[in-house]
Structure 1
Amino acid sequence: MIVLGLTGSIGMGKTTTAALFAARGVPVWDADAAVHRLYAPGGAAVAPLAEAFPQAVRDGTVDRAALREAIASDPASLKRVEAIVHPLVAADRAGFLEAADAPIVLLDIPLLFETGFPVDHSIVVTAPPEVQRARVLARGTMTEAAFEDILTRQMPDAEKRARADYVIETTTPEAAAAQVDAILEELRA
């Protein structure tokens, strides 16, 4: 099995690109979706986070905004959250890989390079900064200041591109699809 790692900064097109791989029969594991499952009612992160951050759990689910507030008020608490959540995410990913019955799988991991998770080939999605900014702000869920704050905490796009085995430009859906097809054709050959 060939394990691909997909990454890219916020607003670069990871979700759309992962969907292109999925549409071509490649099983996809999404780190963000795994966290959402872990934070949902009955999720494995709810009880340990409720114990560590009782103000961040309401009605049996992790309130992400309240958890962000807790981290903002005590930056050291981020390490505590990571100590709880990261092993659960790793277990979810391991379960996916164990169950996957395909020649190629894709792991959508926003912090692929930062975490150093080993993959056979890394793929970075990219777009010009003005496209990235427009995409993020068009969602209507983030302020310009919050977007800038996220950018300061993420590895720069140029560094990600330099480290990647493959780079997919996501300026148009057609261009991204053609690049996904080319990568899969090369890997299947």
Structure 2
Amino acid sequence: MILCGLTGSIGMGKSTTLAMFEEEGAAVWDADAAVHRLYAEGGAAVRPVSERFPGVLGEDGGVDRAALGKEVLGNKEALVELEAIVHPLVRQDQEAFLAQARADVAVLDIPLLAETSQAERFDVVVVVTADEEVRQERVLARPGMTDAKLGAILARQLPESERLKLADYVVRTDRGLEEARQEVRRIMLALREKNRLS
């Protein structure tokens, strides 16, 4: 099985691209979906996160991500503490996914792949990118997003030029869905050929 790391900055279109890989037959793992599972009622992160950050437990028994965001955004120390709790649980979720995956290509969405030096874990890295103006328009259209919040998120991420240096393949999402889909198909063909020859 070829292990592919999919990454990109906020608003670049990772979720859409990941869905395209799934449509082409890849087994896919979504980091955001994993965090949602961990934060949902009964999730493995609920108790340790709510103990460290009192007041973030929602009425549904899970972690209220908006309340948690207010606690950690712009607070480097709190963010480090949160990541120390959540990242090992996310990695366990990844490993469970890989143990069950039955496909010739597995694609893992790792938003901070570059920032956390994880490129060496993967056979190939795919970077999803888009024009800066397109990205900003997409992100600021999200509910509750502000320029200040976007700035705080981007401050934790590498410049796009640095992320692109890690790429074995690049998918642009600002030229229309069909062009992005065609690029995903080309990548899948290349990965399957690589798998066949290995």
Q: Give the CA RMSD over aligned residues.
A: 1.5
Q: Look up the match of 1:124.
A: 127
Q: Look up the match of 1:30.
A: 30
115-124 or 62-71: bigger deviation: 62-71
Does 2:46 match 1:56?
no
Letter in 2 for 1:169: R
Q: Look up the match of 1:89.
A: 90
Q: Look up the match of 1:103.
A: 104
Does 2:183 match 1:182?
no
User: Which structure 1 residue ranges, 4+ long, deviate > 3 Å from structure 2?
Assistant: 72-75
2:142 to 139, 143, 146: 139
Unpaired runs of at least 5, structure 2: 194-198
Does 2:153 match 1:153?
no
Does 2:10 match 1:19?
no
Letter in 2 for 1:175: E
- % identical aligned pairs: 53
Q: What TM-score, normalized to structure 2?
A: 0.90
Contact 2:73 2:152 in 1 (8 A): no
Shift in CA distance, 7/73, structure 1 to aligned 2, threshold 3 Å: closer
Give deviations 1:134-180, integer Å, cap 9, x for gaps.
11122343112222222222111111112211111111101111111
SS in 1 for 2:36: helix
SS in 2 for 1:58: coil
173-182 or 149-158: bigger deviation: 149-158
Letter in 2 for 1:30: D
Structure 1 distance, partners of 2:52, 2:4, is 34
SS in 1 for 2:115: helix
13-22 or 115-124: bigger deviation: 115-124
Structure 2 distance, partners of 1:7, 1:135, is 17
Shift in CA distance, 104/54, structure 1 to aligned 2, threshold 3 Å: same
Unpaired runs of at least 5, structure 1: none
Quick check: which one's helix share is greater? 1
Does 2:45 match 1:45?
yes
SS in 2 for 1:93: helix
SS in 2 for 1:54: coil
Count, aligned residues: 189
Q: How does 1:64-79 map to 2 (within 5 A)?
A: 64-72=65-73, 75-79=76-80
Q: Look up the match of 2:196.
A: none
58-67 or 125-134: bigger deviation: 58-67
CA-CA distance at 1:73 after TM superposition: 8.0
Q: What TM-score, normalized to structure 1?
A: 0.94
Give deviations 1:28-82, integer Å, cap 9, x for gaps.
1011110111000010000111222221113321111222222258542222211
Q: Look up the match of 1:113.
A: 114
